[in-house]
Structure 1
């Protein structure tokens, strides 16, 4: 891997030319600075109760204290950025990258969400961009290939029809760029938009601008086409859903995913104050001695929201933890390690695809009113499909580098298929392989292995 080369002009005309070419990158850096300043302000606001000068003489009743106080005694685990790859890392990364070589459509530049399944969402497309940057950081591909891959996908994204000419549809056919339903069947109007998916994509676009300044103008053209303001109201994320053939706008995001998505939108200067605040909808549940953050809002108006690992590992690998997410992630990791210590059962849970119906579940640390529930999107329990997930094993090992995380990776390592990529993981119930192979898992493996050497993606330069 080679660091990016910067050419310097020797006369004023060259300087002006380069300045013009860099204007989009400069704009991004200014927005990034504003976004990070807002994050720092929010953290100080959230932690203001720790400043003695802000305390009143009378201790407030316990019920009025912020639920964030439950995390005061959580000591964040130290990050395990080593600056060098471990013995098997390159081979592991090559397996993950093979998935993207197999599943990138040559005409559109888009990637299948799962092996040989030609549909995608903005979430998976964002994962693909993170995978490309990570593969470049690891030296699996050079800068020219990385830029060419992303550029082709950006052109397709710019040309694709939007839902109601507002924002990207919830799903697209990878081969044609058509709006489709979740069965990959064409739909004329579309399904609406997912604010969380688009926010992840926006975060990935910020990473692209940061890593490849020459692509900044293409990113700007794409974002100019998307009416992102339609998915932000009063500092909250708003999804678009179809109900009785009418567009219905709903608040979207729960604790964990909501704050991760808010950070992504902050990169482009959006006010995400209410989405970034976790305490407004936070309750804390004890799981094996660890405080676990749980959203108080119901899922689909019936089931308590579920807490999974994914938004926290993405936050750490891509943006770098803030003080709050670092504590949350530490508690979530320690609860899983504690379950292993108590039961002898390896535990690394998150949302995951399945290789059989219903094909997707949320394996939670807390969900449906209980610890360790495995739930479908509709809120049905399916604990028999709990999976020791590949992406969580690699991510926790990269982030924290503990004896337990190394044991997780050792258990997962034999599953890697050099011809297809990494499967989702191991079914807890019988040790069989969950053989679904997906964009999200293989992208996370690459991001984790890149983190070990370079730290968070946003701080890295290919």
Structure 2
């Protein structure tokens, strides 16, 4: 076989290596700019409070127990039940045929993790992801710019959050799309044969339209007009920036956490909190979610490892102080308004539970399944094992893992979602193989 044919056959590997090289070069450049640029004048103030934190060691074991594989099969059941055969997309919650780019990214993460755990064959993984990529390539974009905020899983049509058709759409979520871009990076790392498909998809999306001056910019429909808003707060913003940097986007301001950082003491732990308002309405909150994704998917950097250690330690300290199991993050709930943010710090107070509109709803605080699995995979402490012992009986072999346990009365939060079951699979894959971006041998 000649050099030309070899080059053609290797093209997907070359595409990924070039993109990864560009991303690494950009991270290096950003690190230098953080040392010497104008924002560095703040260094040593808020960030200094994390310098003495010793990051917890990671708990990668290099193997899966039979119990781990049993848990993984329960999680994969969700995807067997909720994948649409016509589009290859997956319901956001059990039997609810709507999805976002965030949730589609979760599906890709789940599929890669299931294949790593040998729950499914590689051929099934590539077939599933390939079909979804074909649908994504054909779906109508918001204003022919970027993916809409929500789509009907059955048809791929633009919808609102009630899964009702909308002609123009809702706009786009830069955070959701960045999470999807990160998932595409994981696909390329693990399935180079799909690299041309992922590259073609990202070329179709005008990703540069959601990046401005090193920040993520969302598009929101307000009274019939498109308004561009900065998106992301400390935690989510840096996770999304990492995803975009994989493909060479300059995310200097989004990756920096210092410029909008304040520190709040919770249970004796320094907790990173954003100084900006959440959605420009309510005080920002700190939850476990973005740090879990960062560790499981990309592997912690020095800063996110310290932040995650503090956020985890505060939850363990609350348990040691009160006897109440604590594993908080954003989650669906099975009563109105159906989605909450259970924070370590939020709305100006520790352990606040907030609705989308910023109202307090502390009665719905949940010991969340995904947080229990993820902390245990990342840190593997005595406390995380206590969390898993409490959560383990909830697994439903016919439906998947529910969201968790309501703290107030110990009843089950019975909502079953793509995100929770994806994190369970990613956590179990991390325990055996390390971060998802790491290519399998």
Residue segments in structure 1 that go unaligned for 5+ positions in a row:
1-10, 50-54
Residue segments in structure 2 that go unaligned for 5+ positions in a row:
none
C-alpha distance in structure 1 between counterparts of 2:236 and 2:151, whole Å: 22
Deviations 1:181-233 (A, max 9, x none): 00000000000000000000000001101111111111111111100000000
C-alpha contact 2:23 2:248 (8 A) present in aligned 1:
yes
Matches within 5 A, 1:393-408: 393-408=372-387
C-alpha distance in structure 2 between counterparts of 1:40 and 1:381, whole Å: 41
C-alpha contact 2:402 2:413 (8 A) present in aligned 1:
yes
C-alpha contact 1:43 1:323 (8 A) present in aligned 2:
no
Change (3 A) 1:346 1:40: farther
Which segment is superposed worse, 33-42 or 247-256? Answer: 33-42
Q: 2:148 aligns with which of 159, 169, 179?
A: 169
Q: Which residue of 1 aligns with 2:305?
A: 326
Q: 1:443 aligns with which of 419, 422, 425?
A: 422
C-alpha contact 1:24 1:220 (8 A) present in aligned 2:
no
Moved segments of 4+, more than 6 Å: none
Deviations 1:47-81 (A, max 9, x none): 679xxxxx9xxxx9xx8843111100110000000
Q: 1:247 aligns with which of 217, 220, 226?
A: 226
C-alpha distance in structure 1 between counterparts of 2:169 and 2:101, whole Å: 14
Q: 1:26 aligns with which of 3, 14, 25?
A: 14
Determine if the alignment matches structure 1 residue 412 to structure 2 residue 400. Answer: no
Q: Normalization by structure 2: what TM-score?
A: 0.97
Any idea what SS the aligned residue of 2:262 has? strand
Quote the offset at 1:40 in angstroms.
4.0
Change (3 A) 1:91 1:48: farther
CA RMSD of aligned residues (A): 1.6
Q: Normalization by structure 1: what TM-score?
A: 0.93
Q: Which residue of 1 aligns with 2:164?
A: 185
Change (3 A) 1:90 1:64: closer
C-alpha contact 1:374 1:386 (8 A) present in aligned 2:
yes
C-alpha distance in structure 2 between counterparts of 1:43 and 1:262, whole Å: 13
Q: 1:79 aligns with which of 32, 44, 58?
A: 58
C-alpha distance in structure 1 between counterparts of 2:364 and 2:381, whole Å: 26
C-alpha distance in structure 2 between counterparts of 1:18 and 1:33, whole Å: 21
C-alpha distance in structure 2 between counterparts of 1:421 and 1:264, whole Å: 28
C-alpha distance in structure 1 between counterparts of 2:31 and 2:206, whole Å: 28
Q: Which residue of 2 aligns with 1:158?
A: 137
Quote the offset at 1:299 in angstroms.
1.7
C-alpha contact 1:28 1:268 (8 A) present in aligned 2:
no
C-alpha contact 1:454 1:460 (8 A) present in aligned 2:
no
How many residue pairs are counted as aligned between the two chains?
439
Any idea what SS the aligned residue of 1:388 has? strand
Determine if the alignment matches structure 1 residue 366 to structure 2 residue 351. Answer: no
Any idea what SS the aligned residue of 2:221 has? strand
